[in-house]
Amino acid sequence: MTSLLIVESPAKAKTINKYLGNKYKVIASFGHIRDLPKKNGSIDIENDFAAKYQIIAKNKKHVDEILQSAKTSDQILLATDPDREGEAIAWHINEVLHKQKGFNKPVKRVTFNEITQSAISEAVANPRALDYNLIDAQQARLTLDYLIGFNISPLLWRKIKPGLSAGRVQSPALRLICEREAEIKAFIPEDYFTLLLDSHKKASKFTAKLIEHDGKKIETKTINTKALASQICEQLSPEKKASVANITKKQKKKNPYPPFITSSLQIDSARKLGFATDKTMKVAQSLYEGVELGNDTVGLITYMRTDSVSLSSLALDEIREYISNNYTSDYLPKAPVKYASKVKNAQEAHEAIRPTSITRTPQGLKKYLSADQYKLYELIWQRTLACQIAPAILDTTAVDIKVKNAIFRLNGLTINFDGFMKVYQEIFEDTANEDEESAKLPVLEIGEELPIDKIHFTEHQTEPKPRYSEASLVKALEELGIGRPSTYAAIISTLKKREYVVMDKKRFIPTDTGSIVSQFLTNHMTRYVDFSFTANLEDTLDDISNGKTGKLPVLKEFWHTLETIIAEKQNIARADLVTEKLDEKCPQCGKGLIVRLGKFGKFIGCSGYPDCNYMRKIDKSGDASEPVPEPEVIEGRACPKDGGVLVIRSGRYGKFISCKNYPKCKFIENLDKPEDDSKEKVLCPECKTGHIVAKKNRYGSWFYACDNYPKCKTLFNSPVVNEKCPNCGYSVLLHKKTKTKGEQKICPKCDYSENITSNN
């Protein structure tokens, strides 16, 4: 009996193929084979929301291979990922197979959480039927996203500008970012002062902080004026001696963290490794699907899309044995440590993310892994091992030092037993570490006198909450119940792709477009950016997955409400969304000034436009800058296209030269050309009349194109060299730089390449 086993990716197929014998053929579907066409009408609302799926064009050849291989197989095993999307992919393959005339072979579903010999063998020995609850949940999610996307997005196109989109989980995430930005802009800093006592015992110096004065407790912002801080200092400074009033010693236990789930891996990877969420998932995918270890291909981690913190009994036994063999007995707890998931509706049948074998140490695998794979595998390995090591024991000491009518406190923390911290330590972001700052304290006794070296104060200002990073945004989304493990990377990627946000120092800043879209959705489509509504919808999808509710009632109720709201919002005036009136008159004509949304963001202009063209920019902080000056005229040159006057203008990516007759004449020339741009004019190799010039795309990256565009569409991604290819005779070569091969001259038409410098 021959079996056809179908997975999503070729890497996964390659790994599994080595575990199965000749009776199995393993091929890949390359992800989804069918999808909804990206057009209106793909969901038939009148016919119980029936979906009109089509074969994905780029995957047609893989579908053909599946159909051809199925003809020569006795049974078909669908081994796609063990989640909603994986179940849906399996269902699509099953549907396509059964649409073939005369097809009557058994089709079964197999799942596994790790790609190892034992897991694969057990999976193929115990196939099951397709889970239609999971399939319904995935189709409901797809339909909900379609209904929002194809009904709210057109409203954005008409009311704001074309090309915008709204999403079921993307929009609440954007709202979070925009609301944090509004908080930061509205924040008014407050001054506060900290009073400090410097003292010493022998060679040990230390600083204590004022916690009580005149019997009153001193909180962080209690001393809020410099005058009060100076007054207390002047009152206490004449004192030469202090005394130890009290010493409090405590011992506390610090428990290890649970093994990784998808969100905690993304958060920790961002904090410790600086990986973006999508990069984390791509690297994790490669570790899951299999890595060449000499002559063997092995899946190194379990499935990376999970919300369960459970570990299998086999994994626990192996981890405990590793701890026993490599650490002293006090590091091994008496029994395996079990964790309960904090994620609502977590699928406990799955496992947490862990190495498929704890004995494969990061150092032992380093030579087989890329730098990114090694870093992420080490992080997963350390967290998994640490979760089964004994808690750390910390000794804390608080020393109260009395000076006249004031009490200063000195805190110290020492590690009595490092426990799991020997292997893994958490990094905190945006909040102070939960532990006191470690300080080595001298041996002190109650009643002991200490010298006063200095009593002084430091000045501080309160700060707003920081902007979201990828890690803190994922954490916030998870806490609010928005999205699920597999969606966080896609949410963030969409926000960046739509240019609703930009990254500054690895923090999200909403663009003007993003702010206006979020404002529109918050004010007019409130339900669909409401955090509770979005979280409840996720719970509803989980209920469909678990068979607690059907998808049709959910879709009908959702569509009825959405249809009503869309109809109500059709008559909103566009001007109310993209303009904002200012209490200021135009200095040129006296009419009112307004804030407009332009192609490159917000600016201030005259409400009398086009009769009055007064305009001034708004800087990044949101403040109005000086009026936009008249462009500088270039003397002694004329536009090469229409003979008009050339001027220097400022655009999104800096200064550039253009024709004053714009938009009738679209001549443009960059001023800040890249250093390696060719100094001599290079004739276009295609049209033979234009020349190759450096240009910038909308993302600020350079490319090289013919100045006869749009008549000639010749384009290169690297600078051109005015040399013929010695191999094929093409009239130019490209100057290319890579990390692996250094600088090269390459031919854009054939495979000729020539090293310029070596990359040492």
Q: Which residues are catalytic?
A: 303
Distance of CA 267 to the CA centre of its chain: 9
In single-letter form, the type of residue at position 744 comes to: Q
**Location of structure tokens 């536009």:** 639
**Location of structure tokens 């057009």:** 39
Of 627, 625, 624, 646, which is closest to residue 637 (Cα–Cα)? 646
The helix/strand/coil state of 101 is: coil
- Rounded to whole angstroms, how far apart are CA atoms 732 and 705? 13
- Rounded to whole angstroms, how far apart are CA atoms 234 and 250? 34
Task: Give buried/exposed letters for 68-92 (b at 16+ CB in 10 A, else e).
Answer: ebbeebeebbbbbbbbbbbbbbbbb
**Residue 67 C-beta-side C-alpha neighbours within 13 Å:** 17
Q: 524-533: long-range contacts at Cβ-Cβ below 8 A with a sequence spacing of 24 or more?
A: 524/569, 524/572, 525/152, 525/166, 525/565, 525/569, 527/561, 527/565, 528/148, 528/152, 528/166, 528/168, 528/171, 528/562, 529/171, 529/172, 529/174, 529/175, 530/172, 531/172, 531/175, 531/480, 531/481, 531/482
The helix/strand/coil state of 77 is: strand
In single-letter form, the type of residue at position 26 comes to: V
Of 35, 126, 27, 37, which is closest to residue 70 (Cα–Cα)? 27
Instruction: For 479-511, give the DSSP string.
Output: HHT-S-TTTHHHHHHHHHHTTSEEEETTEEEE-
How big is the chain, counted in residues? 760
Contact 694, 674 (CB under 8 A): yes
Of 291, 303, 296, 265, which is closest to residue 80 (Cα–Cα)? 303
β-sheet bridge partners, residue 248: 398
